[in-house]
Chains A and B, each alone.
Chain A
Amino acid sequence: MSDPVARAWAVTRRTFGATLLGALGLAAVETWPRWAFWRGAASSLDALAGLPQAAALKALGRQAQAAMAIPAGYADTLAARLGDEGYAGAVARDRAEGRLVSIDGWLVPETQALAGLWLASAG
């Protein structure tokens, strides 16, 4: 193999390797629930504001504030769940365990309801 061809192969291998490493790293980040959920937020609770459906959850949270007694320490409960599994994981666990609550007729996984309360309380 001539030197120019060998150099080209070496560059190709390095480029491919770097790309592969980058992809693996990105996948790791995306599949690590807490990191994926937090991203740039200061805390797991702050990260709730970045959810695509945050505005809707906040509307339900406000309805819950008006319609029912707010469980004491709900924010701590919520933060612990989010810290353990991230938002999607915690909601999925609610579904798997049948933890659904009713807010003015809306049937909602418990973590989503708590998230709505938090978002509503944050103004």
Chain B
Amino acid sequence: MFIDGRALPAGTALEADIAIVGAGAAGITLARALKDSGLSVALIESGGLEWSEEAQDLAAGELGPQTYATPDTVRLRYFGGTTGHWGGWCRELDAIDFEPRDFVPLSGWPLKKAEIDPWYAKAQSVLQLGSPQRYADSEGIAKAAGAALPVARGGDIEPILFEFSPPTRMGEVYRAELEQSAVKTYLNTTLVDLRVGDDTRTVTTLTLARDGGPALAMTARHVVLATGALSNAQMLLAADSQVQGGLGNGADQVGRYFTDHPILIGYAAILALDPSAGGPFAFGDIAADKRRWRLAFQPSEAYRAAQKRLSCLITIEPPGPRFDPAAGAFDRSDAKWFGAPETVNALAAANATGPVRLHVLNAGIETRPNPDSRVTLTGKRDRFGMRRLKVDWRLSDADLEHYLLNLGDFAKALAHSGTALLRIPPDAAARWPEETSWGHHNLGTTRMGDDPRTSVCDRDGRVHGMANLWVAGSSLWTTPGAANPTLTIVALALRLADRLKAEMAA
């Protein structure tokens, strides 16, 4: 059932077995997985059923020197959360992404991928996807779509797949199911404090603010923060009235290791030479087997391990109207990636009259964990008195260096295949990190780990040192890999639901 928190009488006592804070990908997945468990479940959402400026303002904050999306634009505060505008890109993390790597300090999850695989399989249906076995089947999907692969599977740089979710707008797709369930979804209700008992290990009360009335108190046996990597850290840090520094922050780890996937639009260009290359390089969405896919190129796991490389996922953008002579122009904002102006003009003319095709690359790259890249609280407060955030995203030159090495190997692979030439501008490094976009993937800030000195949550998502406080979502990331996070967020939420059921049964 849905309950508007603003309509509740002052002093209403609320209680639940499990209180889930945040109705986004993780929170809605948890609530759905627990709705028939016999447990009383409360789902607490700061926004309403529709987006509103009032709710979104609660997410506002500041940025550090690195250009980045402001906190109130990178996440959505309403029922369904950021699934309300995600693009649907789905892919599992690779097994190596979970492993400690000696060339990446502080890398490695406390889990193996195999431990998550059963929930990855279940997450597929949550996000309205097909079989998880297809992510490596670039040959099969390309064949089904009638497209040829420009480089082969099994090489150093190999083609892999994303599958597209429709995308699943959880606030729409699962609204009726939750409304008709026993889960109590409190809308327009904002968590502003977590109160602990005398042991300081047990959250006893959630303080819930709303417009139009005094704050309400909710008691719960277990509390799950599922508000995204920014707000999860904000909430833990702000709960400092009883515990100095906030909950789970005894080692000053909350908010640290924040990152996103830098998205490098351009930084390299492709000249497809093969007259039959329209197929291999027409890599917009591929429709095959009644689903949508996108081919990408990635250094293989073996190659990454052998060469000590971070990951990246490169997509070749289809030529599009910007390179269509009928559209009248060669897009000048992309032109710099192809060379000097006279070269660009000549290539554009060749693109217009001949079988060659020009493409730019997009790449999402993996960054190394950086404790100084972090989310902190500022002295400014929102209308409920919560301290606002500052997001200080730090990128290192080493992150780009790994990408350029991977890109150089891709250039060799393409040159050897005879299908295309790839250009890495000599001044590419000078454009970093100023000309960097991002995937809107807030990652880290309450990372998992076995060692409380370098992590915030344990392998299940329970906050170190806390008996009944859990975290769900992408704030758990330790090393980011290069894949988009939503599928893994859902898989980990399903895993946590099973963990909580076991905890309650015990």
Chain B residue at minimum C-beta to C-beta distance from A59 = B346
- B-side contacts of A56, CB under 8 Å: 271, 273, 346-347, 350-351, 354, 356
Q: Contacts of A104 on B, CB cut-off 8 Å?
A: 339-340, 343, 423, 425-426
Q: How far is the CA of A112 from the CA of B346 in the complex (A)?
A: 17
Evaluate contact between B356 and A105: CB separation under 8 angstroms: no
Determine if B411 is an interface residue (Cβ-Cβ < 8 Å).
yes
Kindly state whether residue A53 has any CB partner on chain B within 8 Å.
Answer: yes
Q: What is the 8 Å Cβ interface bit string for chain B, positions 344-359, against chain A (1 contact, 0 not)?
A: 0011011101111000
Q: Type the 1/0 row for A44-82, where 1 means its CB is closer than 8 Å to any CB of B.
A: 000000001111101110110010000000000000000
CA distance A26 to B354 in the complex (A): 26
How long is the Cα–Cα vector from A109 to B414 in the complex, in angstroms? 11
B415 touches A109 (CB 8 A): yes
**How far, in angstroms, from A40 to B354 measured CA to CA in the complex?**
20
Q: Is A1 an interface residue (CB 8 A)?
A: no
Contacts of B350 in A (CB 8 A): 53, 55-56, 59
Whole-angstrom distance between the Cβ of A113 and the nearest chain B Cβ: 10
By the criterion CB–CB under 8 Å, are A107 and B275 in contact?
Answer: no
Contact in complex: B354, A52 (CB < 8 Å): yes
Interface residues of B in 100-116 (CB under 8 A from A): none
Q: Does B422 count as interface, using CB distance less than 8 angstroms?
A: yes
**Known contacts A56-B271, A56-B273, A59-B343; A108/B354 CB under 8 A:** no
B31: shortest Cβ distance to chain A, in Å?
51
Residues of A near B355 (CB, < 8 A) are 52-53
Q: Are B339 and A63 in contact (CB under 8 A)?
A: yes
B340 — which chain A residues lie within 8 A by C-beta? Answer: 63, 66, 104
B30 at the interface (CB under 8 A from A): no
The residue in A52, A55, A59, A92 that gathers the most chain B C-beta atoms within 10 A of its C-beta is A59
Nearest B-chain residue to A58, judged by Cβ: B346
Task: Check if B425 sits within 8 Å of A53, measured CB to CB.
Answer: no
B273 x A53 contact (CB < 8 A): yes
- In the bound assembly, the distance between CA atoms of A62 and B343 in angstroms comes to 7
Q: Could you tell me if B343 and A55 are in contact, using CB atoms closer than 8 angstroms?
A: no
Residues of chain B within 8 A of A53, CB atoms compared? 273, 275, 350, 354-356
- Does A32 count as interface, using CB distance less than 8 angstroms? no
User: Is A91 on the interface with B (CB-CB < 8 A)?
Assistant: yes
Interface: A9 (CB within 8 A)? no
Task: Please determine whether B418 and A91 come into contact, CB atoms closer than 8 angstroms.
Answer: yes
Q: Which residues of A contact B347 (CB under 8 A)?
A: 56, 59
Residues of B within 8 Å of A100, CB to CB, are: 412, 415
Q: State whether the Cβ of A95 lies closer than 8 Å to any Cβ in chain B.
A: yes
Q: Contact at A108–B346, with CB atoms within 8 Å? A: no
Distance in Å: Cβ of A105 to nearest Cβ of chain B? 4
Nearest Cβ on chain A to B169's Cβ, whole angstroms: 42
Q: Does B424 interact with chain A (Cβ within 8 Å)?
A: yes
Q: Please report the C-alpha to C-alpha distance between residue A60 and residue B418 in the assembled complex, in whole angstroms.
A: 16
A16 within 8 A of B: no
Known: A53-B355, A56-B271, A56-B356. A108 touches B415 (CB 8 A): yes
Contact B343 A60 (CB under 8 A): yes
Assess the B426–A105 pair: CB atoms within 8 A.
yes
A115 to B349, CA, bound (A): 18
- Report whether A95 and B339 are in contact in the complex, using a CB–CB cutoff of 8 Å: no
For A96, the closest partner residue in chain B by CB is: B416
- Quick check: A107 and B354 within 8 Å, CB to CB? no
Chain B residues contacting A58 (CB-CB under 8 Å) are: 346
Q: Is the CB of A105 within 8 A of B354?
A: no
| B421 located at the interface, meaning its Cβ lies under 8 Å from any Cβ of chain A in the complex | yes
In the complex the two chains form, is B418's CB within 8 Å of A92's CB?
Answer: yes
CA distance A76 to B66 in the complex (A): 53
Bound: A52/B356 CA distance, A: 8
Q: B418 — which chain A residues lie within 8 A by C-beta?
A: 91-92, 95
Bound Cα distance from A55 to B353, whole angstroms: 9
Q: How far is the CB of B403 from chain A (nearest CB, A)?
A: 15
Residue in contact with A106 in the complex, picked from B275, B342, B346, B423, CB distance below 8 Å: B423
Distance A60 CA – B344 CA, assembled complex (angstroms): 10
Which residues of A103-123 are within 8 A (CB) of B? 104-109, 112
Interface residues of B in 316-349 (CB under 8 A from A): 339-340, 342-343, 346-347, 349
- Beyond A59-B346, A108-B421, 14 additional contacts (C-beta under 8 Å) are A52-B354, A53-B273, A56-B273, A56-B356, A59-B343, A63-B340, A66-B340, A95-B415, A95-B416, A104-B343, A104-B425, A105-B425, A107-B412, A107-B423
Task: Name 8 interchain pairs, CB-CB below 8 A, sorted by A.
Answer: A56-B346, A56-B350, A63-B340, A95-B418, A105-B426, A106-B339, A106-B423, A109-B415
Chain A residues near B (Cβ < 8 Å): 52-56, 58-60, 62-63, 66, 91-92, 95, 100, 104-109, 112
Interface of B with A (CB < 8 Å)? Answer: 271, 273, 275, 339-340, 342-343, 346-347, 349-351, 353-356, 408, 411-412, 414-416, 418, 421-426, 428
